[in-house]
Amino acid sequence: MGIRTGAAYIEGVKSRQPEVWLSGRKVTNVYEEPVFKQPIHEIAKLYDMQFEQSIQDKITHVCEETGERVNNAFLVPKNADHLEARRALFEAYAKATFGLMGRTPDFLNIVVTSLFSNSDFLKAYNPDWANNIQNYYRYIRDNDLFLTHAIINPQNDRSKSSHEQQDIYTHLGAVEETEEGLVVRGAKMLATLAPITDEVIIYSFPGFKPGDERYALAFAIPIDTPGLRIICREPMQDGLRSVADHPLASRFEEMDALLVFNDVLVPWDRVFLYNNVEAANLLYPKTGIGQQPSHQTGVRGLVKLQFAVEVAVQLADSIGVDVYLNVQNDLGEIIQGVETIRALLKVAELEYETLPSGDIVPAYNPIETIRGLLPTLYPRAIEVMQIIGAGGLLMSPTEADLTHPELAEDMQRYYGGRAGVSGTDRIHLFKLAWDLCGEAFGQRALQYERYYTGDPIRKRAIFYNNYKKSHDFKLVDEALGKA
């Protein structure tokens, strides 16, 4: 089949009945649930982009194996042109969502592509695992599926490993092997967009200890598999707020969820790794599933940061405060943040590395530096927006006030900005800014930048240790005359 339309994606959502819990009730119709409806349509738009003539050749390609047109996330990158093709996809999806939807379909499709092309790693442990991931890759590529993932254990007692938790099935683990497959029990988090996806893939960060064998797992199943319970966090909007009042929060709410597996049967042909602590610990470093999706997150992060900075600049301009040195200094600083990420991305792509499988990946040091910097650059851009908008951010009336004839004069006189900025324009701009820097929606978007791919502190420590191993730090010796 290859690429599918937004309508086909929506048909898929309508055809399933996952067990979704939202604010204390079971959702009976995911598509009709107000809080999911708009995000479903935003995702559908991305699927439809694959059919737009102006962009189709940039974000899709003809698959050599099937002759079908498929998404660039399924392109196994073997040269610089392939990296460019992937970047075009990431950029197109990120721009369509202002970088505010982190888990668009490209993100996990890259992960599966990376597992597929590096499946020799799995083959060395168990040829069935390698076969399974290869078949799975072809299945999601040819059906253009949308995945969620849950790689983190619930936050119970982080000082103990999985097998040391009070109940051994708190963290997701294998219960028994049957002829049909593996029965799993316990929970994983934090599955973003889970209710509106087709499938869920489970794998984990390294960190397994001896005794954790039952938790050393990787598999994928349909999102409506019996026994899989999706418990959503409290919604950050009710799905009924107007686009005019909440131009971002009303459209881009990415629901997050805890996944509870109540003795779920995972068919053997969907198991990619099991009962092997060593393989689970090496999965990240040996299959490129960290570095390849970092390309997507880097491009998306750049678009999001750029967007936040543009909002801050326009905010300042609209009320004439960017004539002041302190405001110019703050804005200059966050623009330099954008330029830093832009430059790092270019270097990462230009200085690409080749994995043992022959896959081309963006260079580790610059791409990981993006990962290290965004958790401070993005919150700083949001802080600058808050400082510049000041009390004005809290003063926006509703669209109903703005359009009420009796208030029309007041709206234009008292809410207008500097000469040339009408009350209507300023109110709309400040509402957009408030969604980003004040609303719960904006706070989640900020927390996302901190944690979307693991704890930034431990990530940076890993970066330092890798850097130390691969550099000789000779300049000091030269300065001391020891070289």
Output 92 or 201, the one with its CB closest to ligand FAD. 201
CA angle, residues 76, 78, 84, in degrees to nearest 5: 85
CB 191 to ligand FAD: min, Å: 6
Output 389 or 456, the one with its CB closest to ligand FAD. 456
CA distances from 197 to 134, 218, 303, 432, 454 (A): 21, 18, 24, 27, 22
CB 320 to ligand FAD: min, Å: 35
CB 188 to ligand FAD: min, Å: 7
Chain Cα centroid distance, residue 197: 13
CA 22 to CA 28: how far, in whole Å? 10
- Between β-strands 19-22 and 25-26, what pairing exists: parallel, antiparallel or unpaired? antiparallel
CB 101 to ligand FAD: min, Å: 11
Nearest one of 449, 354, 370 to 83, comparing CA atoms: 354
Output 150 or 327, the one with its CB closest to ligand FAD. 150
Beta bridge partners of 150: 202
Output 201 or 312, the one with its CB closest to ligand FAD. 201
CA 257 to CA 188: how far, in whole Å? 9
CA 9 to CA 149: how far, in whole Å? 18
CB 293 to ligand FAD: min, Å: 11
Output 135 or 156, the one with its CB closest to ligand FAD. 156
Which residue in the shown chain puts its C-beta closest to ligand FAD?
Answer: 192
Residues near ligand FAD, by CB under 6 A = 103, 149-152, 155, 158, 190-192, 256, 444, 447-448, 451-452, 454-455, 457-458
Output 253 or 349, the one with its CB closest to ligand FAD. 253
SS3 259: strand
CB 448 to ligand FAD: min, Å: 4
Q: Which of the 8 DSSP states describes residue 349?
A: H
CB 297 to ligand FAD: min, Å: 11
CA 166 to CA 220: how far, in whole Å? 27
CA 306 to CA 286: how far, in whole Å? 33
CB 192 to ligand FAD: min, Å: 3
Give every CB contact of residue 24 below 8 A, 6+ residues apart in sequence: none
Output 310 or 455, the one with its CB closest to ligand FAD. 455
CA 84 to CA 345: how far, in whole Å? 12
Output 130 or 446, the one with its CB closest to ligand FAD. 446
* Segment (H or E) for 228: strand 228-232
